Amino acid sequence: RVYIPNSFFYATTTSLLVVLLAGMAGYAFSRYRFWGHQTLLVSILAITGVPLLTNLLALYQIGANLRKAQLPFYDDRLFLVVVYLGFFLPLSVWIAKGFFDAIPRDLDEAALIDGCTPVGALMRISIPLALPGLMAIFLLTFVNVWNEFIAGYLLLAKNELKPAMFGLYEFLSQNIINLQVVAAACILIALPIVVIFLFARRTFFAAMMEGAVKG
């Protein structure tokens, strides 16, 4: 079935977009002060406390309205990616801001004095130094999206678009008696996460230790 490839698409696409947007937003919040800066930061923090389940009914209604209007956006992979992006981006912005806050501003100023543009200073100085944190954001988002079930189950009508967790749910409902087969299916679903973590564990632990030392 296509459930596992679907989850790879959702998790990878969402994680890359979250890293890109959270990196830019975190850098902006860390390096610049503008009107409403603190209010916006607090608002983003408040959004992180809103559970996904509380908004599913509203999202389902929005999707139903889009479907009635015969817009291609509903019941499409992009729709679910946007939903995941909205829920996993706020916390990632705060994580990225924390890593950029730990990078001395003097490095950016030195790059600007040497003729670097602000974008050049971001790409050549700040991003490489914050790479462990961005990698941690990618892994955190990837795991959360991969393990998510409710949104993919409720917001997508076509089974061929649903993620791996729905496939596992469907499989369990058909093989609830055969525990060996159920265990094999669970291992198959968990295997990609284990492999990715094994390859990226050094970067992930480096990011966590760096955050602990800064704290």
Sketch out the chain's domains with CATH numbers: 3-214 (1.10.3720.10)
Is the pLDDT higher at 185 or at 135? 135
Amino acid identity, position 185: A
pLDDT value, residue 17: 95
Amino acid identity, position 30: S
Cβ contacts of residue 104 below 8 Å, gap of 6+? none
pLDDT value, residue 211: 45
The tokens for 181 are 């087969």
Q: What is the pLDDT of residues 46-69, one digit of tens each?
A: 877 777 777 777 777 776 776 676
pLDDT value, residue 14: 94
Q: What is the pLDDT of residues 63-91, one digit of tens each?
A: 677 667 666 666 678 888 988 898 889 88
pTM for the whole structure: 0.80
Q: How confident is the model at residue 185 (pLDDT cuts 50, 70, 90)?
A: confident
**Predicted confidence (pLDDT) at residue 213 exceeds the cutoff of 50:** no
Q: State what percent of residues in the chain have pLDDT above 90.
A: 8
pLDDT value, residue 107: 82
Report the alpha-carbon distance of residue 10 to residue 14 in Å, rounded: 6
pLDDT value, residue 16: 94
